[in-house]
Amino acid sequence: MWFDSWADLGRVVAVGAAAYVVLVVLLRISGKRTLAKLNAFDFVVTVALGSTLATILLSADVSWSEGAIALAVLVVLQMAVSWTTAHTGPGRLAVTAGPTTVLRDGVVDHVALRRQRLTPAEVRQAVRSNGVGGLDKVARVVLETDGTLSVIPVGKVGDGSALEPSDRER
């Protein structure tokens, strides 16, 4: 069907604009964390927000007020989980995976790669992307909680204090 009625189109425009404003306000209130680099939980919340917004826009069965409440519930729950992960160790471990060292002192940890479903080629790509030509020049490659690979060259390890949590939380 290409066209139902002008009223339906008007509803999409009016409700869509209002829902968009609510979402922007909620995201501003919730802070930068909601849209920061995403861990798995944040990604799920972001997808849920998008799905909820689409439902508000396209389903006449969902009123604007119901949609606004649904968006608010998702944002408040995300804020609660973020607070919990920031203030309690067990809460963080329940929601987000800790960083994992996948290469140590130039040697690829194949067990960690299998567990994290990565390939040695992906590790080598990350090393190359950081301007390093050989694994022997790399002290650590860490799979971060947001899915990125951090590469620490041998000459930039310092005292290694930034590496301690990822080594403990493997």
Spatial distance between the Cα atoms of 81 and 22, rounded to a whole number of angstroms: 21
Q: Mean pLDDT, the chain, as a whole number? A: 84
Mean pLDDT of 50-71: 92
**In terms of DSSP H, where are the helices of 31-163?**
40-58, 64-87, 89-95, 110-116, 120-129
More confident residue, 87 or 32: 87
Neighbours of 16 (CB within 10 A): 16
Spatial distance between the Cα atoms of 55 and 70, rounded to a whole number of angstroms: 10
For residue 107, the model assigns a pLDDT of: 95
For residue 94, the model assigns a pLDDT of: 65
The token duo for 110 is: 């194949």
Work out the widest C-alpha separation in the chain, in whole angstroms: 67
Q: What is the pTM of this model?
A: 0.63
Per-residue pLDDT at 42 exceeds 50: yes
Spatial distance between the Cα atoms of 5 and 63, rounded to a whole number of angstroms: 18
Mean pLDDT of 161-170: 58
- Which 8-state DSSP code applies to residue 98? P
- 94 with 105: CB under 8 angstroms? no
Per-residue pLDDT at 69 exceeds 90: yes
Domain 97-168, classified CATH 3.40.50.300, yes or no? no
**Which amino acid is located at 107 in the chain?**
V
Residues listed for the chain? 170
Beta-sheet strand order (sheet of 107-108): 107-108, 100-104, 138-143, 149-153
Spatial distance between the Cα atoms of 133 and 117, rounded to a whole number of angstroms: 24
Per-residue pLDDT at 63 exceeds 80: yes
